Amino acid sequence: MKFEGRNQVVEAIKSGKTINKVYVDKNYATRKDEIISLAKQNKLRVEFLPKKAMDEISVTNHHQGYIAETVDFEYCEIEDILTHAQEQGQPPFVVLLDGIEDPHNLGAIIRTCECAGVDGIVIPKMRACQVNETVVRTSAGAIANMKIARVTNLKEAIDTLRENGLWIYVSETGGENIYKQNLTGPIGIVVGSEGNGVKQSLRTYCDGIITLPLKGSVNSLNASVATALCVYEVLRQRNS
């Protein structure tokens, strides 16, 4: 997997990702460059390439002269997410994604969750977007600092979270107004796919449904936008 672009490469190095090599546009070789300095401080191999060669190895075509080649993305376990929350001294806050397929949406959700202090994200292994270079780029480097667990069964993941005291809410239409729901405790929020939302079997399995009030004629929001609004409502309530 490749982290491409200045911010993504900086975050990948700072987070301690296992990096095989850092590729840098050879035109930057004589600069006092943060990425080159970071790579050398962390004893990483740096290879200077002409721009044409950089373009050829780039996956996203947005490398900005910097590419970090890493091992495949390292998913974590749900227990790692819960441990992180405990270390932060706060009630666990987890986002579960039911079938998000667009890598741009997944990357945007990861960026929002990292900014809002979400402890971790849970995604299914099947019929959903996995972490790839487009997700990394869209997250603007946030993915390097976000714990993501990949599970076979979301219901089993919910059971594990419940056993650890979390209340699990679905973000969908037809539920209680999100602004009237107490979201200050240990919580998991389930967000559904772009086209079909959260599966009915999962909706009835959770503890409740929270709904963002919509005043226009369109009856749904983009998945990443809906996630952002829900996540920041939780953050607002926790800080009020």
Percent of the chain with pLDDT over 90: 62
Q: Which domain holds residue 220?
A: 78-239
Two tokens at 175? Answer: 């539920």
pLDDT in tens, 71-92: 778 899 999 999 999 999 999 9
Question: Is the model's pLDDT at 154 over the cut of 80?
Answer: yes
- CATH assignment at residue 124: 3.40.1280.10
Give the pLDDT score at 72.
77
Compute the CA torsion angle 107, 156, 85, 191 (nearest 10 deg).
Answer: 40
151 touches 122 (CB < 8 A): yes
- CATH assignment at residue 54: 3.30.1330.30
User: Do residues 11 and 102 share a domain?
Assistant: no
DSSP 100-139: ---HHHHHHHHHHHHHHT--EEEEESSSSPPP-HHHHHHT
Q: How far apart are CA 223 and CA 211, in angstroms?
A: 13
pLDDT in tens, 102-144: 999 999 999 999 999 999 999 999 889 999 888 988 998 899 8
Number of domains observed in the structure of the chain:
2
Q: What phi and psi, each to the nearest 5 degrees, are found at residue 105?
A: -65, -45
